[in-house]
Amino acid sequence: MKILVADDDAISRRMMARLLENSGYEVVTADNGREAVDMLATPNGPRLALIDWMMPELDGPGVCRCVRSRHVGSYVYITLLTSKQGGDDVVAGLEAGADDYLIKPCNPEELKARLRTGIRILDLEDKLVEAREDMRFRATRDSLTLLWNRASIIADFERELTRARREHGVVSILICDLDHFKQINDVYGHQAGDEVLQQAASRFLRSVRSYDQVGRYGGEEFLILLSGCDSGQAFQRAEDIRSAFASCAFETMHGPLSVTVSVGIVSSSEWTADLTAKQLLHEADLALYRAKASGRNCVMAAHPIAHEPSPDCDTKHV
């Protein structure tokens, strides 16, 4: 565990550092309060700190206030070292953000015991953060594919649509549906179907940019958000995805399976600004339906006018 010792007295600083190093700590030091704050603010900085009350530039309570005001990064457990023994002084230090205090000169065994208490508290905080992040992940991710779940990807689309309209940009969405997926479940079983869905998720992610967003829209349907892509670019991306599926079989417990995908596209810039995200999703869904009706393994774009270009369909793998 890394620990910061901040003290303007060089002899006291060296003695404390030697004691802690002999106890297995990785020690870094500072000789004034401002340097201590800077060191505690660095990435992977110390999470334990022994701060002398009286220091130049910034005293111990001032260090505590600066650290607590950041509200970023992992929690730092701060122990103030002070020769002040008055109750008012102790209260002032704790209210400034210190977690504990020791009267100088401190007993080495008491110091080590107090630090072990700090480590237990930091461990508890880490477990709570881990549990919170796990809950957040479970709440926003599809458990099978680990993509964004339906609620999250729709919420992301609503935000992206609002941002695109505010900044006079464009966002395109692709609704992708695995062709004849029910037959895979019926013939080979749901385990094989799950394998296909997981591999499909990976194939979608490999086919888009790192900042594009992919979610499981429901069942065998997936929703992809393409920020900054107009209709032509979105159509080409959809064709790349369709080709990636059609050109390479999926490996399952029953051997390789040919799986194709149909795609419906909507680009926000082609539609009036009064259309909601829900309405645009409906238009993309209608385009997907037309792609299915045109023979599957096909890309179809939705346009606000009646006449659309002929879909680029490939039925060799249907």
Choosing from 160, 220, 221, 283, the catalytic residue is 220
- Has 283 been annotated as catalytic? no
Q: Evaluate whether 221 touches 285 at the Cβ level (below 8 Å).
A: no
Residues carrying an active site annotation: 220
